[in-house]
Amino acid sequence: MPNFILNITSQDDDLMLSNPDIQCYLLASDIDYQTLQKLVHQISNAGKISLLYGEKSLDLISALPADGVLVDLSKSENIKKEMSLIRHQIKDGVLGVICRNRRHEAMIVSENEPDFVVFKIWNDGCDKTLELAKWYNEFFLLQMGVFPQDENADFTQYPCDIIILTPERYKIFVAKK
């Protein structure tokens, strides 16, 4: 069974901190700073991992005691250089990387050793992304995750270690089991 990361986009999202199956939280960097501080503190006190995600995540990582970041390098033209700069900035923090849904970019990202790699998935084009995920899983030892981008994306068939879901989607998924 894959690990779940809850994608928290609002202070009103249910953290489900007492749920032992949830060990990591993805916090949107556009949540106001004081709320982010509070969320990071709550997550840390529960002994769980908090990752920042979004445009301001790298600006906030030094000010907030979050455990790391998930960065979207799917539009990057120089993955190696950007990953080096990010790794220097976050020091020993956790680094997750979203890459383009193509083999070449997945290889470049993996060669630069993030802690995990993420593929965004949509219902449209799901077959090609599933094929990519299966290929990736065969050739790389890094943890691989999927991040559904629409409600119809079927993530259950992916051979992944991590699934990133909103609290609502997680509750629906668990209820269907």
In a domain, 124, yes or no: yes
In a domain, 27, yes or no: yes
In this structure, what token pair is assigned to residue 175?
């209820």
In a domain, 39, yes or no: yes
- Among candidate residues 46, 42, 45, 40, the one with its CA nearest the CA of residue 69: 40
**Domain range enclosing 39:** 3-11+21-176
In a domain, 74, yes or no: yes
Tell if the pTM clears 0.75, that is, is over it. yes
CATH number, position 133: 3.20.20.70
In a domain, 73, yes or no: yes
- Cα separations (Å) of 107 from 37, 68, 79, 128, 160? 35, 22, 11, 17, 16
Of residues 86 and 177, which shows the higher confidence score? Answer: 86
In a domain, 16, yes or no: no
Angle at 71 between CA 156 and CA 129, to 5 degrees: 35
**Domain count within the chain:** 1
Percent of the chain with pLDDT over 70: 100
How confident is the prediction for the chain on average, in pLDDT? 95
Per residue in 39-77, pLDDT tens?
999 999 999 999 999 999 999 998 999 999 999 999 999
In a domain, 105, yes or no: yes
